[in-house]
Each structure stands twice: as C-alpha cells, then as structure tokens.
Amino acid sequence: MRLGLDIMGGDFAPLEALKGSVNALKHIDGIDLVLFGDKTIVEPIAQAEGIDLSAFEFVHCPEVISMGEHPTKALTQKRESSIAIGYQQLKEKKIDAFISAGNTGAMMVGAMFSVKVVEGVFRPAISSILPKNTGGIGLLLDVGANADCKPDVLYQFAVLGSLYCKNVYKIDNPRVGLLNIGEEKEKGNLVTQAAHNLMADTSDFNFIGNVEGRDLFIDKVDVVVCDGFTGNIVLKACESMYYLLKKREIKDEFLDQFNYEPHGGSPILGINAPVIIGHGISKAVSFENMIRLAKETVESGLIDKIKSSF
C-alpha cells in the first residue's frame, strides 16, 4: 500500500512530519510512504536529525501553500506545491491515500477538483472524534467544511457518518442523532426541523432523533450530525477546555481522550479517494497516527461502499 504524505503541511513541518514518517515505517506493516516536499528544505533537516530519506520515495515539490493563503488561488498559482502534486498522484492512482496537516481549505478544494466528489454526494464533510465516558468513541460531522447546509445535505452527512463508523470503527448499526437545542422534533431552526422530517422516515441509517449538547460524550449516540458552523464551534470549545484543564494540571483518563494526537486526523468523507486532514499543530505522534488511519481507511474499502450507497 502506497500512502502519500505532504511533509510541508503544518506548523512544525517538515521536521515533525519526517519523525512521524520514520515511526510509521517502524510500527505499521505493509506500507510504502511517498513524501511530497521541497528537497532543498527537507534534506538538510533530515541530515541533521540522522533521518535516512532513502527509506522513502521522495517527490520534489518546490512550492508550498501556507496556512493563510486563499485555497483556490493558491492551488491555481502553485501547481508545483506539495498539496497540488500530491493530489495529482492520488488522481492518477499512484498513491492509495493522501495525508496533510496543511491548509485545510486547500485540501478541501484540491479534493473536489482532483479526485472529485462521489457521484450523488452534494457536499463532502470533515468529521471529528467524540470521546465517550464509557471508553468508546463517536463521530461528529461536519466540523468546518460547510458552514451553511440544506436539510438534504445534513441527511447525506448522516449516511456518510454511519458508513464511516460501521466500516472503519466497526460500530454495528451506528445510532445517528441530529444536533439540536431540544429533543422534540419541533425544536430548532427551519433547517433542523426539515432535516428531522427527512431522517425520521428512512431506512438508510439508524436515526434516533434529536440530540443535545449534553448528549455528545455519553453512550447515547454514535454519529452526531450538524452543519459545519455548529460543528466547528463544538470542536474548538472542546479543544479549548482540554488545554485549559491540562494547564491547570488536572489529570483524568477521560480527559486524555480529548487529546487529538492519538486519533491523528480526520477523513474528508464523500470524495473518490481516501484523504486525511491533520491538525495544524500536529507533532510526530499525530503524523504517525494519520498514516495509520489512512491505512485503515484504505483497507476498509470505505470509498467503494460510499459509492455503492449513493
């Protein structure tokens, strides 16, 4: 299995991406890593750290898309960037999956214009893990790709999230809930009310109704569906609380599950190839786990199952 990694993406790239790649080769069987980056920058760093680049296939990419650049403009103007070339190889099936902790907008735009959206899917979504107080995990989507959503888009997020939990996290018959301000079907804005009506009359997934913010971390629901505006606020609030409690030296096994590093990254769901997006502040552990998640996603056959479903 050939997995592609953008080693120029992230606040601590390329060093942490290189370290994560080395660890991945040691701990994950059956993978070949293709690194996309600027050799003039990467080679001196690798030499200083004693990292042997000959263990990887290296694709020289002389341009880099920075975090603050406009996604569409950057991809158009920087065709020799690590993200652009990585997506080109993914499109040509030279790699089985593509991974980056770089510009999220550029990763989304690159996915839609290279490997493209699965036929029938209105909009791809980005998901995030929800730790459970029982020790399990759930899924929240969308968490930022789509700030505004129509009811049928939320319905499709439920399908995508259910398929992902079933095939990658091996959750049998995942329970799907619609994030709202109350459990009653009449609650919420016009979009959530209409989405509830669509979801209530379906056999495409196991819909359990509306769920509230207090239900996110208990064993009540496996897939929580919302628009990207709401989901991103939930995600950032959880991250903030985790770091604040950690700074106050509060230690707890459940709290540790909010650390993004063991989960690695998040997949873009609804596109024609496996793509994993990592946190901008990813360190070596995160990169290693992004690579592991990419392998698991490829092995699960998730993309073919999404295509078949739609």
Separation CA 173–CA 196 (nearest Å): 19
Residue 158 sits in the same domain as residue 249: yes
Residue 239 has what pLDDT? Answer: 86
Q: What angle, rounded to 10 degrees, do the helices at 190-200 and 151-167 form?
A: 50
Are 139 and 98 part of one and the same domain? no
Which residues, 6 or more positions from 96, have their beta carbon under 8 angstroms from its beta carbon?
1, 2, 3, 273, 274, 298
Q: Which residues pair with 57 in a beta bridge?
A: 34
Q: What is the CATH number of the domain that holds 209?
A: 3.40.718.10
Q: Are residues 234 and 288 in the same domain?
A: no
What pLDDT was estimated at residue 270? 95
Give the list of residues 6+ apart from residue 211 with CB closer than 8 angstroms, or none: 177, 178, 179, 180, 183, 220, 221, 224
pLDDT less than 50: residues of the chain? none
pLDDT at 204: 93
- Report pLDDT for 175: 97
What integer pLDDT is reported at residue 84 of this predicted model? 96
The residue range of the domain holding 155 is: 123-260
Is residue 204 domain-resident?
A: yes
Number of domains in the chain: 2
Position 275 scores a pLDDT of: 96
Q: For the chain, what percent of residues have pLDDT higher than 70?
A: 100
Last residue of a domain, one of 223, 238, 260: 260
Are residues 72 and 113 both part of a single domain?
yes
Q: Are residues 143 and 70 in the same domain?
A: no
**137 and 150 belong to one structural domain:** yes
Angle between helix 151-167 and 302-309 (nearest 10): 140
Residues 145, 90 share a domain: no
User: Residue 242's pLDDT is what?
Assistant: 87
Are residues 128 and 113 located together in one domain of the fold? no
103 lies in a domain?
A: yes
Same-domain status, 143 and 255: yes
